[in-house]
Amino acid sequence: MITKADPALSSSFERINAVGTAVLGRQDLSLQPAELTQFQQGRVFVAASCCDPDSGTALGVASDPLLPLSGTFGAFVLGEHRDAQGNGLSRFDSNLLATNPNVIARKAGAFATLNPDFPVHPDIGLVAGGWFGRDGNRPLIIDPDSGMILEEVDDTILFMVGFPSTIAALQSTGFTTFAGASNRSVEFQGNTILTAGGFARSNVAEVDPSVTFTPGVSISFNVDFATGQVSGGHLYLLTNFDSSGPFSQEQGFSVLFDGQVALSAGNPVIAVNVIDGVFGKNTPVNVAGSEIDIFFGGAGEGTDSGLVAFGAASIQTLGPDPIVYASTFSVGRFFLAEQRLTAAEALQLSPPGEVRLGMAAFSRLANGSPTALPIGAEGLLLGRAADASVLSDPFVLGANPLYVRGVDGSPVATNTRRRDFLSQPYEFLLRRDSAIENTSLFETNVRPTGGPDYSAQGFSVSWGAWAASSPGSGAKIHNDRTNNANGVVIDRDVFFASIRPTPQGQMPISGVFSYGGSLGGGDLAVIGSGGGSISGANGASFTDFGVNFEVDFTTGSISNGLLTASYVEPFDALVTDWNVGFGGFVNGAVADLAVNSIALTVDGVAAGGPSTLFPFDSSVSGIFTGPAAQRFGGGFSITAEGTLASGTFESIEGLFVIDRLSGASQ
């Protein structure tokens, strides 16, 4: 249902009279025979309205938007079925796409505006458009038999119309990934199939109040057509750019979803479940009030257009004055089919109804010398993860780089707020491969000594470690999505964890809090190691370790970050001490951090600092977890270059868990 009738007005005609359009009540607005014939041709629509708290999505059958019909009020009509309460039907309802809808939608006044820049996909007839109401010139919801106006829609209605696939056409597709973004397309087999976009509108001040072509939408998700399971969904809707920090960053809605393929008259529809989301740095998305609808178009392999998903989204934030965004989109199967991820692993990384993130930390060094690793995977990965609490179930991590790159491909700055950070296809898949499980470091429900147990509330941190089985053998970063056999071996220790993040609706949105702990104080848990050619240590355990930082949830800034670590070289008993400064900002439940200082001493003598060869090899990041973000699970991989002897390097890497400290101000 796109909007609700105003109960303050006793009849539909009074509602129309109230806005000065009584003349519409004297016209025949009922469904005409020619229009009914158009419904029977098989077109469907997805629509989203904007921009008030009653906004939502709808789907149903449609006439041809490119064929004006004489003798009727509008250029074309949209037909929707509703239940007795006036709500849209369940996506699993067999009458969802019946060709005799019990309500129709028309545009009062001018014809719909169609997007001339939108690529019409062959075989699908996909068209993007919208009804853009102004004063008395607004879309109407009408009884198709009597022509009675049931609702006058105060919102704009954005829609896509096209021919849907049948499930028979998709049965051989198996497991596949859809991924694409507006303003970024790929010509494949003669057709643009990666374009995502359509019309969009928002009540956000930074967006032009008139309707515009979608300025930035990115969507990705998996579908297993054998089971109908939809997993790993991520929708990003760009509203503007935030230039308040050190560089301009995307500002918009980041929404996670999954779902199930439902069938209506043989047409596959995704019944989408919105799981969680955030606007900007830390404004939570109203999960219950946000909707996404998706159809499939095309016939899969062997057709001109390939397989395309087209849909509509209505997303809003929590609060009395929500930010509302509506968008239509289309997206094709990713043109380089994902060959690394299996259907079973996709569900491990994105279990139904749950968000689970994870991290992996490892050294850039091997035997004290730098080694080649994929750009963006130089020591710390953060992304969607399998559950690390089951030792018999191999851990898998799907991740994209923590930082953005410049036009020349070089690192620019850490940024997890970009649209593709949690999107597929992942740039890296981390698997155990030939590494050995270090069972002594395997632990479930990790928490600082004496810290509260949040596992009963669904929050826990589980971690473990892999060790190389022999030189040249170990865990592998699979960075070739077309060939699962390819990848880069990490022939040293890898520390990994899975974490259920705090949902956005439970994250603090104001107040200043301190997080911290130390190994000596007993209020921190840590696994990791240090060593290199500066100290002579090799995989040394920490004798002391500490982390502290401050978060202002009102502004989202993270400041005064300090990580300290100490270990002893076993032969000469040399004590190595690290002091690492960092800061950043909150990105939902993720801490987007950057290292800003490194100081390394060996037996009290300054011996190393930031690596001039690898400036982005030093990373700290983490995930807020627990009720109201009471806990933080972090990861780090820091590389220092020797100052006393050229060509020497040292590193520390690992994971930690700390709690919010008492006495923090709000």
**Tokens describing residue 125:** 């007839």
- At residue 415, the pLDDT reads 80
Q: How far apart are CA 178 and CA 166, in angstroms?
A: 17
pLDDT tens by residue, 53-64? 888 999 999 988
**Whether residue 665 has pLDDT greater than 50:** no
**Whether residue 403 has pLDDT greater than 70:** yes
**Whether residue 314 has pLDDT greater than 50:** yes
Mean pLDDT computed over 401-413: 73
pLDDT tens by residue, 550-567? 999 999 999 999 999 999
**Tokens describing residue 41:** 């041709």
**Whether residue 187 has pLDDT greater than 70:** no
Report how far apart, in Å, the C-alpha atoms of 25 and of each of 144, 601, 659 are. 14, 83, 64
Mean pLDDT computed over 299-313: 66
Mean pLDDT computed over 35-44: 89
Q: Is the Cβ–Cβ distance between 368 and 354 less than 8 Å?
A: no
Q: How far apart are CA 269 and CA 260, in angstroms?
A: 8
From the list 589, 641, 654, the residue with the least C-alpha distance to 612 is 641
**Tokens describing residue 398:** 């799907």
Contacts 24+ apart (CB under 8 A), 243-246: 245/585, 246/413
- At residue 406, the pLDDT reads 66
Mean pLDDT computed over 423-435: 91
**Whether residue 616 has pLDDT greater than 80:** no
pTM: 0.89
**Whether residue 215 has pLDDT greater than 70:** no
pLDDT tens by residue, 345-396? 999 999 999 999 999 999 999 888 888 888 889 899 999 999 999 877 789 9
Q: How far apart are CA 539 and CA 199, in angstroms?
A: 54
Q: How far apart are CA 165 and CA 157, in angstroms?
A: 24
Q: Which residues contact 8 (CB under 8 A, 6 or more apart)?
A: none
- At residue 115, the pLDDT reads 61
**Whether residue 253 has pLDDT greater than 50:** yes
pLDDT tens by residue, 256-297? 999 999 877 677 899 999 999 999 888 999 999 999 999 988
- At residue 78, the pLDDT reads 92
Residue 592: strand pairing partners: 585
Residue 599 or 50, more confident:
599
**Whether residue 25 has pLDDT greater than 50:** no
- At residue 200, the pLDDT reads 72
- At residue 136, the pLDDT reads 59
pLDDT tens by residue, 468-506? 888 888 999 998 877 888 899 998 999 999 999 999 999
From the list 346, 273, 288, 356, the residue with the least C-alpha distance to 322 is 288
The percentage of residues in the chain with a pLDDT greater than 90, rounded to a whole number, is 46
**Tokens describing residue 505:** 């609706």
Q: Which residues contact 9 (CB under 8 A, 6 or more apart)?
A: 15, 18
Residue 118 or 343, more confident:
343
SS3 of residue 590 by DSSP: strand
Tell whether the torsion through CA atoms of 105, 110, 111 and 114 is positive or negative.
negative
Q: Is the Cβ–Cβ distance between 16 and 152 less than 8 Å?
A: yes
Q: pLDDT-based confidence at 408, cuts 50/70/90?
A: low
Q: pLDDT-based confidence at 617, cuts 50/70/90?
A: confident
DSSP string of 204-261, one letter each residue = -TTS-SS-EE-S-EEEEEEEETTTTEEEEEEEEEEEEEE-SSSS-EEEEEEEEEEEEE
Mean pLDDT computed over 240-250: 66
- At residue 260, the pLDDT reads 94
Residue 401 or 179, more confident:
401
Q: Which residues contact 70 (CB under 8 A, 6 or more apart)?
A: none
- At residue 623, the pLDDT reads 98
Q: Which residues contact 137 (CB under 8 A, 6 or more apart)?
A: 108, 109, 110
Q: Where are the alpha helices (DSSP H) in 461-596?
A: none
pLDDT tens by residue, 1-21? 344 333 332 233 333 333 334
- At residue 35, the pLDDT reads 85
- Give the E-state strand segments of 569-618 in sequence order: 575-587, 590-602, 605-610
Q: How far apart are CA 193 and CA 207, in angstroms?
A: 27
pLDDT tens by residue, 188-199? 333 334 445 566
> Can you give the C-alpha Rg of the chain in angstroms?
27
Mean pLDDT computed over 626-643: 96
Tell whether the torsion through CA atoms of 607, 609, 614 and 619 is positive or negative.
positive
Mean pLDDT over each residue of the chain, to the nearest integer: 83
- At residue 471, the pLDDT reads 82
**Tokens describing residue 491:** 């022939």
